[in-house]
Amino acid sequence: MPLSHISLRAGKPDSYRQAICDSLYRALRDALDVPEDDQFMIITEHEGANFRYGAAFGIARSDDLVFIQITVFNTRTSDQKKALFRQIAELLGQSPGIRPEDVFVTLTESAKENWSVGHGLAQFA
């Protein structure tokens, strides 16, 4: 039940944004065994003045940088997380063609009882 927030600079076409969602969903399914149709993604676009980044860790980023924040249950192994990061960069490279240097991913874990996915219920508690 991942919840993904995707942030990028404004101006990309709908097909580009859709390709990001499709590639991210495929990576989540492959690396974390996310069930089919378990897609909860939000894309936020930012004007250049509101989208800042640097060359931290010696990585030469470009204006095509994409920030991806994923919140998941705290049930995944380190190997699954590493596989997810690799697969996201690989698949975004294939479609829509984002350089690996421009893929910035954070993973936040939350206990299952901290989720309500509708009806005001704690479905996983």
Catalytic annotation, residues: 2
Separation between Cα atoms, residue 55 and residue 12, nearest integer Å: 23
Q: Measuring CA to CA, which residue among 69, 71, 80 is closest to residue 115?
A: 71
Decide if 68 contacts 24 (C-beta within 8 A): yes
Separation between Cα atoms, residue 34 and residue 72, nearest integer Å: 10
Q: Is the peptide bond before 100 cis (omega within 30 degrees of 0)?
A: no
Cα separations in angstroms, 49 against 10, 44, 46: 11, 14, 8
